[in-house]
Amino acid sequence: MTNKKQYKNLIAGKLCPAISGKKLDVISPSDGLSFASIPESSKRDIDLAVRAARHAYEKGAWGKMSATERGRILLKFSFLIEKHKNELAELEAKDTGKILSQAKSDIAGLARYFEFYGGAADKMHGDTIPMKGDFLALTLREPHGVVAGIIPWNYPSKILGRVIGAALDMGNSLVIKPAEDACLSVLRVGELSIIAGVPDGVLNIVAGTGIEAGAALSSHKDVDFISFTDSPITGTIIQQTAAKNNRGVTMELGGKSAQVVFADADLEKALPVIVSGIIHNSGQVCSAGSRVLIEQSIYDEFINKLATKFKELVAGPHDADFDLGALISQKQLKIVNAFIEQAKQENLELLATGKIANNDPKSGNYIAPHLFSNVPAKSDLAQKEIFGPVLCAFPFKDEEDAIKLANNTEFGLISSVWSNDGARQIRVAKKIRAGQIFINSYGAGDGNELPFGGCKKSGFGREKGLEGLYEMSAIKTIIFNHS
Ligand code: NAD
């Protein structure tokens, strides 16, 4: 018990416990055992962090630094993440339950964000605008000021990278509230930021519950902009709060993404990618490919291949590197199991399930992958974000039907088109309402360079790539009269 590491907040460049001294236990999803603690911060801690961020932004060295210097700090940060990659990956896997190979790839993604944004820092600039008469206008791309980042538990390190990489790059200061269910890698990255040379107060990280620390941050009157990734329900609450303060937000709120497989596709190539699209991170992915739409003429052939593959899949402890790890929490396990139970009650066709490893610790949050076939398009299974390794399959008649089914949810985050017909690839990609469409692949590569975000209930605004920098800045227009 006494050996448990006590993680600390980062406020004004100092590591500190919650002012109240309160802590939250950190439970490993793989075995249900507590192995560390995090501060249970309150409004007072958030207030201190926002004040530190405001001071660093207005008065500190940050505002005076050139974009090139900011970029160099980010590059040093990237190098440090690389240097600590094994330690960070092990921490991430233990904290989230994700398999170690995937945690390693997440940490590589975090380092890559700092590398990408470090390199971009001094390449962002405004425009000159020609005007009639004796006028000329130019635009400056300026930081928002103090940015709040509310980070989810499914990809703590990677999502931290995209938020703080872009925000720091543009010269903002930040207060980060990581999710109470998984925040150790975020707090550890905070420690490394001191070594990287991020000036005191520019990056503040405050752990605690959403209801207390999260709500205090998103409603804080001295926060200029909010980046939020998580559920639509909490996203709506935060939008309402931000509206009261007239603050800007980006909202990344999940999806029910479709992988559309036409009869002319390379099915051997599609099969492992479609499976990976739903078991990656145990399906706890906003962009999980949770619906597979298969052209009627190949439906039986392809669904049987998928079923064979599903039966081979194994969920197990993060350090044993099976196909998938544990779900984040008992709460999430209950949510996913409730969807499966409801589908069974509705007599939906459960075609295949994977296995849970024999040596799993019985108190871990494991769930075997499930494949449902011929799922009615209106059912909850086909419409709601499950956030677990549950794949719904449907047949479609033709291209028009495929597009209609793909668009037939409240969400619009990502999608894929599997076909060897080039004209069809473009036609279908243009008609599916989503922020990102993959052709003959899914979630390809790490994609730090690719703008990401959704439409409809999936939210708005774009993160990642250069678009992420535009979101983390605002344009000021200056007009000269040179008569
Ligand atoms: P939650 O809404 O309880 O918490 C989400 C995050 O928001 C946490 O970081 C929490 O601390 C914070 N939060 C909660 N209330 C807040 C408030 N009033 N103000 C500011 N921050 C607040 O969500 P959950 O129970 O962890 O997950 C519920 C569902 O969310 C999941 O089942 C899944 O469908 C979805 N989810 C989506 C993503 C994504 O990447 N889009 C990630 C994780 C979870």
What are the tens digits of pLDDT across the range 415-452? 999 999 999 999 999 999 999 999 999 986 679 999 99
Question: What is the spatial distance between Cα 109 and Cα 378, in angstroms, rounded to a whole number?
Answer: 36
Does 286 qualify as catalytic in the annotation? yes
Is the beta carbon of 96 within 6 A of some atom in ligand 1? no
328 CA closest ligand 1 atom index: 26
How does 122-135 read in b/e, with b if 16+ C-beta sit within 10 Å?
eebebeeeeeeeee
Residue having the nearest C-alpha atom to atom 21 of ligand 1: 214
Is the beta carbon of 150 within 6 A of some atom in ligand 1? yes
Average pLDDT, the chain: 96
Give pLDDT tens digits for 460-473: 999 999 999 999 99
**Model confidence pTM above 0.85:** yes
Is the beta carbon of 385 within 6 A of some atom in ligand 1? yes
Residue having the nearest C-alpha atom to atom 8 of ligand 1: 179
Percent pLDDT > 90 in the chain is: 96
How does 169-193 read in b/e, with b if 16+ C-beta sit within 10 Å?
bbbbbbbbbbbbbbbbbbbbbbebb
180 CA closest ligand 1 atom index: 11
CB 143 within 8 A of CB 476: no
Is the beta carbon of 239 within 6 A of some atom in ligand 1? no
**What is the per-residue pLDDT for 445?**
65
Q: Which CATH architecture has domain 5-253?
A: 3-Layer(aba) Sandwich (3.40)
Does 392 qualify as catalytic in the annotation? no
Class for the domain spanning 258-458: alpha beta
Residue having the nearest C-alpha atom to atom 13 of ligand 1: 210
252 CA closest ligand 1 atom index: 41
Is the beta carbon of 207 within 6 A of some atom in ligand 1? no
**What is the per-residue pLDDT for 27?**
97
Give pLDDT tens digits for 238-280: 999 999 999 999 999 999 999 999 999 999 999 999 999 999 9
Give pLDDT tens digits for 316-331: 999 998 999 999 999 9
Phi, psi values for residue 20, rounded to 5°:
-75, -15
How would you classify the pairing of strands 459-460 and 473-481? unpaired
Give pLDDT tens digits for 403-420: 999 999 999 999 999 999
Among candidate residues 40, 92, 180, 252, the one labeled active-site is 252
Task: For residue 365, name the pLDDT band (cuts at 50, 70, 90).
Answer: very high
Residue having the nearest C-alpha atom to atom 11 of ligand 1: 210
Is the beta carbon of 214 within 6 A of some atom in ligand 1? yes
Alpha helices for 346-454 (secondary structure H): 380-383, 399-406, 422-431
Residue with structure tokens 């109470």? 180
Phi, psi values for residue 117, rounded to 5°:
-75, -30
For ligand 1, pick from 41, 230, 237, 413 the residue to mutate: most ligand atoms within 8 Å of CB. 230
Is the beta carbon of 218 within 6 A of some atom in ligand 1? yes
Is the beta carbon of 210 within 6 A of some atom in ligand 1? yes
Among candidate residues 286, 295, 392, 471, the one labeled active-site is 286
Per-domain boundaries in the chain: 5-253, 258-458
What count of Cα atoms within 13 Å lies in the side-chain half-sphere of residue 424?
18
Q: 480 C-alpha to center of ligand 1: Å?
A: 47
285 CA closest ligand 1 atom index: 40
CB 224 within 8 A of CB 174: no
Whether the per-residue pLDDT at 180 is higher than 70: the answer is: yes
